[in-house]
Amino acid sequence: MKLTYRIITAALSAAMLMSCAVFPTYADSKITYKFFGDEAAKPGYAEGKITLGALPSGKYKLYWADSEKALDGYCEIAELKPGQSFTFAEHTVIPPEAEKLIAVSSATAKVSDAQAVYAIPENKRLKYKSSDCLYKFMNYSDIHIDTSKSKYYDFSELHWQKALETAYSRNADFIVTAGDNITNAEGPGKEFDRFHQILADSPYVNPIYEASGNHELRRGKIKNLLETFITATGLDGNSDTIRKQKPYYLVEEKTTGDIFIFMALEYEYSPDKGDEFSDEQLDWLEKNLKAYYGKNRNIFLIQHALIEGYGAGDDEDNYYTVPLKTKYESTVKFRDIISRYPELVWISGHTHIALKYGYNYSNMNDTSCHMIHDSSVCCPTMLNYTSHSLSYDAAKNEEYKDLSEGYFVNVYPDEVIFYGENLYHDKIQPAASYILESCRKSADTTTAEPKTEEHHSLPTADDFILFADRCFNLPKSFTYKNIADKDYRQLRKLAEEYLDDMYSFSSYDDYQALKKLMRAKSLEGTLAERYKAICEAYISALPHSREGLSNVYFSNTDKWKQPYAKLSSAKHNNGDQGEPMTKVGKDSDGNDLYKIEVNYHRYSTVEFTDGTEDNKSEPQTLTGDDKLFVLNENDPFSPYYCYAKDYKG
C-alpha cells in the first residue's frame, strides 16, 4: 500500500541522513521495537518499527497498555500477523500512561490475556500523567453545518453534536476550529444560527474560537461574508476586537500566556484562484510572531488552507487539487513567514483527508515550522488510489455515519501532545497522535504575564439595580444584602429562560459561562453569594445593548408593493409572512426606504419579502447596530443576496 511505502521511505531516508546515529532495538517476548529518527532517545517519541514475532497463526491487535489492560479510550494501534511489522511515523507519541505494548487475539485486551507483551523501556516513558497538563483543548476543522442537506454533509449536525459531547467528556478548556464551520449553501447567517443552536443545546459550556475558511466565503460579496463571520462568531469575544471588523485575531491562554493566532482567507471561495491574504493581515501575522516568539510560550497558528506541495496535509502526493497556490505572492509570503519560526505550530484543515492515511504532521525536514493537519468533523475523505483523487463516498454512506475526526490537545510544561481522535466514539487513534517539544524549554525562562482585556464594556452586578426596572422585569428592590429565596428562584428562572430562548453570537463565551453556572449541581456560598454569582453571569451574557433594540432599514429597489420583514432565530419567528415594514422616506438613490424596529435578543436573522414566496432575500444576520439592507441585484448567482451598511435614519 502506498501509505506504508511512504512512511517506510521517510523513515529510511531519515536513517540514511543519520547514519552515524545508533538506534536502540528492544525485544520483549514476541515483540521487537526498533526506535529511529532524531528523537530515538527521547521519552515519549514512538517513531520506529514494531515487529510481531513467532506466534500461532492468526491476527493480533496491538494496543498501548498500562500494567493491567489496554489504555481506556484508545483504538488499537494496528492489526498484524506473525512476522508482520508496523511503523510509527515521526513525532508520533507513546502516551503518558503507557507502560506496555500488548498483542491480543481475543476480544479482551488485558495484559494477563495477551499473547505477547512488550515492556516500554524506562528511558522511553514520559514521567508524568495526562492529568498533569497545564490546559487542554479540542482542535476541530471542516464542521460544515449545511441546512440545505447536501448529500456530502448529511451528518454535519449529528457530527457537530457528537464533537461537542466529546469536548465535554474530555473536559476541554476551550475549542479552536480551523475553518469551514459552515457550508454556506443557504446563506451564512442561517447556517451559523444552526451552528450555535447545536452549541447552545450541547452540554459543552466552555469558550470556542473559530477561524474562517473558504466555505465562509462561498456565496455573496466577500466583505459582507467576512462581516457575517465576525458577527456570528464574536472572534475572541472582546468588544474592541469586534469593533475592528477584522476576521483575524489573537487569543492568549489565560493561565500560561500561550498564543493562538487565528487567520482568515480573504479573497474567494477557491483558495487556488488568487491571493488569499491581504498585506495587512500578513504584516499583522509577522508583527505578532516577532512580538511573542522566543518568549517562553507556545504559539499556535490556526489557518485553514494548506499550501501546494508544502507541509502536512498532502505535501508530496497532491491528492488535493485546490490548495493555496505558490504562483500567488501572498502564498509565498505566508510560507516564507512561517518557515522562519521553527517552533511555531501551524494547524490547518481543508482537505478532510482521514487521519489513517498519515498526512497529519510535517516540518519539511526541519526547514519550516511544525505543521499539524486536521481531518474533518463532518466528513473525512478517503484516498482513491486508482484515480489519484479524494473520495467523499464516506459522507454519503450510512456505514460511515460514525466517522468524525479531530484532535484532543494536551499542553504540558515540556511537551504538547495532539491526540488524533474519532469524535463520534470518543476514541484516540494512536498512529495519528503526535508529540512536540514545548517552547517552555527555550533559553528564555521568564514566564510571560498573560495580557488581559475587558471582555465587554458591561455594567457590574451592583449596577444591575440601576436598570433592573427596565431589564427583563426585575423589581427595583433587588439588593445583595437581603436576598430571599423567592428572589433567587426568580433570578434562576430568568436565567433559564434566557438560556432556553436566546443567545448572542458576539458574547457567546459569556453565554457559555452562564450555562456552566446554571448546570452546576450545587453552588457554594450563602444565598446572597450564590445570587450575586448568577446575577453577574446573567448580566455578562446579555448582549451589549440592554434594550436589545435596533433599527433595520430596507431599500425597496425592486419596487415591491409592500416589503415585509420575516424575523427568526433558533427558537422564534414572527410568522410565515413576517411583519409589514413602515415607509420612512427615500434613500440616496431615490428608492423608497422602509424600517422596522427589531429586538435582536429574540431574533438573529431577517429575510425581506413582498409577502409571497416568489420574492424574498436570503437570510441576513442581525446585529446590535442600525443597518440598511439593499438587494444585491448585480450578483448573477444570488440576485436576492443583500449587502448591509451602517445607517442612522
Compute the CA torsion angle 171, 177, 182, 184 (nearest 10 deg). 170
**3-state SS assignment for residue 357:** helix
Beta-sheet strand order (sheet of 48-52): 25-28, 31-35, 48-52, 85-88
Confidence label for 506 from pLDDT (cuts 50, 70 and 90):
low
Is pLDDT of 310 > 70?
yes
**3-state SS assignment for residue 226:** helix
Q: What is the pLDDT of residue 472?
A: 45
Nearby residues of 598 by Cβ (< 8 Å), 6 or more positions away: 549, 550, 551, 552, 565, 567, 606, 622
**3-state SS assignment for residue 349:** coil
pLDDT digits 0-9 by tens, 119-151: 999 999 999 999 999 999 999 999 999 988 777
Going by C-alpha positions, the residue among 573, 501, 512 that lies closest to residue 537 is: 512
| Paired sense of beta strands 415-422 and 405-411, if any | antiparallel
Q: What is the pLDDT of residue 643?
A: 81
Residue-averaged pLDDT of the chain: 84
Q: What is the pLDDT of residue 490?
A: 84
Is pLDDT of 208 > 90?
yes
pLDDT, average across residues 160-188: 94
Task: Compute the distance between CA of residue 21 and CA of residue 438 in angstroms, rounded to an integer.
Answer: 24
**Contact indicator for 335, 303 with CB cutoff of 8 Å:** no
Alpha helices in 245-363 (DSSP H): 279-292, 329-339
Q: Which residue has the higher pLDDT, 520 or 98?
A: 98
Task: Compute the distance between CA of residue 327 and CA of residue 36 in angstroms, rounded to an integer.
Answer: 37
pLDDT digits 0-9 by tens, 538-555: 877 776 444 567 899 999
Confidence label for 454 from pLDDT (cuts 50, 70 and 90):
very low
**Cα angle vertex 574, ends 569, 577, to 5°?**
115
pLDDT, average across residues 511-534: 87
What are the CA-CA distances from residue 571 to residues 213, 303, 502, 512, 542 (Å)? Answer: 27, 33, 8, 18, 17
Is pLDDT of 461 > 50?
no
Is pLDDT of 528 > 70?
yes
| Paired sense of beta strands 627-631 and 549-555, if any | parallel
HEC-encoded secondary structure of 457-522: CCCCCCCHHHHCCCCCCCCCCCCCCCCCHHHHHHHHHHHHHHHHHCCCHHHHHHHHHHHHHHHCCC
Confidence label for 451 from pLDDT (cuts 50, 70 and 90):
very low
Is pLDDT of 231 > 60?
yes
Phi, psi of 114 (to 5 degrees): -70, 145
Confidence label for 453 from pLDDT (cuts 50, 70 and 90):
very low
pLDDT digits 0-9 by tens, 336-362: 999 999 999 999 999 999 999 999 999
Residue 279 grid cell: 498585506
pLDDT digits 0-9 by tens, 623-646: 777 899 998 765 555 667 788 888
Q: What is the pLDDT of residue 262?
A: 98
Task: Compute the distance between CA of residue 385 and CA of residue 377 in angstroms, rounded to an integer.
Answer: 23
Confidence label for 371 from pLDDT (cuts 50, 70 and 90):
very high
Task: Compute the distance between CA of residue 302 and CA of residue 345 in angstroms, rounded to an integer.
Answer: 9
Task: Compute the distance between CA of residue 325 and CA of residue 329 in angstroms, rounded to an integer.
Answer: 9
Is pLDDT of 573 > 90?
no
Is pLDDT of 572 > 70?
no
Going by C-alpha positions, the residue among 343, 355, 420, 418 that lies closest to residue 381 is: 355
pLDDT digits 0-9 by tens, 463-502: 444 444 344 444 555 556 667 888 888 888 888 888 887 7
**Contact indicator for 557, 632 with CB cutoff of 8 Å:** no
pLDDT digits 0-9 by tens, 272-306: 999 999 999 999 999 999 999 999 999 999 999 99
**Contact indicator for 57, 82 with CB cutoff of 8 Å:** yes
Q: What is the pLDDT of residue 631?
A: 85
Is pLDDT of 94 > 90?
yes
pLDDT digits 0-9 by tens, 38-80: 999 999 999 999 999 989 999 999 999 999 999 999 999 999 9
Q: What is the pLDDT of residue 449?
A: 42
- Residue 182 CB neighbours (<10 A): 32
**Cα angle vertex 516, ends 511, 517, to 5°?**
100
* Residue found under cell 467523499: 392
Looking at 11-20, 86-95, 417-426, which range is the least confident one?
Answer: 11-20
**Contact indicator for 168, 162 with CB cutoff of 8 Å:** no
Residue type, 630: V
**Strand-pair partners of 174:** 137
Task: Compute the distance between CA of residue 27 and CA of residue 15 in angstroms, rounded to an integer.
Answer: 20
Q: What is the pLDDT of residue 289?
A: 97
pLDDT, average across residues 578-591: 92
Alpha helices in 234-294 (DSSP H): 239-244, 279-292
**Cα angle vertex 285, ends 283, 287, to 5°?**
65
Residue 31 grid cell: 515483540
Confidence label for 35 from pLDDT (cuts 50, 70 and 90):
very high
- pLDDT > 90: what percent of the chain? 54
Confidence label for 316 from pLDDT (cuts 50, 70 and 90):
low
Domains by residue range for the chain, with CATH:
2-124 (no CATH), 130-441 (3.60.21.10), 464-541 (no CATH), 549-646 (2.60.40)
Task: Compute the distance between CA of residue 342 and CA of residue 353 in angstroms, rounded to an integer.
Answer: 25
Please spell the DSSP secondary structure of 147-210, one letter per residue: TT--GGGTTHHHHHHHHHHHHHHTT-SEEEE-S--B--SS-HHHHHHHHHHHHHHSS--S-EEE
- pLDDT > 70: what percent of the chain? 85
CA atoms within 13 A on the CB side of 472: 22
Task: Compute the distance between CA of residue 540 and CA of residue 550 in angstroms, rounded to an integer.
Answer: 19
Beta-sheet strand order (sheet of 642-646): 582-586, 592-599, 549-555, 627-631, 642-646
Q: What is the pLDDT of residue 315?
A: 63
Q: What is the pLDDT of residue 280?
A: 97
**Contact indicator for 45, 35 with CB cutoff of 8 Å:** yes
Residue 84 grid cell: 508482520
pLDDT, average across residues 437-455: 51
- Report the run of H or E that residue 100 belongs to, with start and end: strand 100-104
- Report the run of H or E that residue 6 belongs to, with start and end: helix 2-17
Report the residue count for the chain: 649
Is pLDDT of 259 > 90?
yes
* Residue found under cell 445583595: 480
Confidence label for 263 from pLDDT (cuts 50, 70 and 90):
very high
Compute the CA torsion angle 405, 410, 414, 415 (nearest 10 deg). -10
Alpha helices in 478-630 (DSSP H): 485-501, 508-519, 527-541
Confidence label for 414 from pLDDT (cuts 50, 70 and 90):
very high
Task: Compute the distance between CA of residue 344 and CA of residue 300 in angstroms, rounded to an integer.
Answer: 6
Residue 378 grid cell: 463532518
Q: What is the pLDDT of residue 159?
A: 95
Task: Compute the distance between CA of residue 135 and CA of residue 412 in angstroms, rounded to an integer.
Answer: 8
Residue type, 419: Y
**Strand-pair partners of 259:** 252, 299
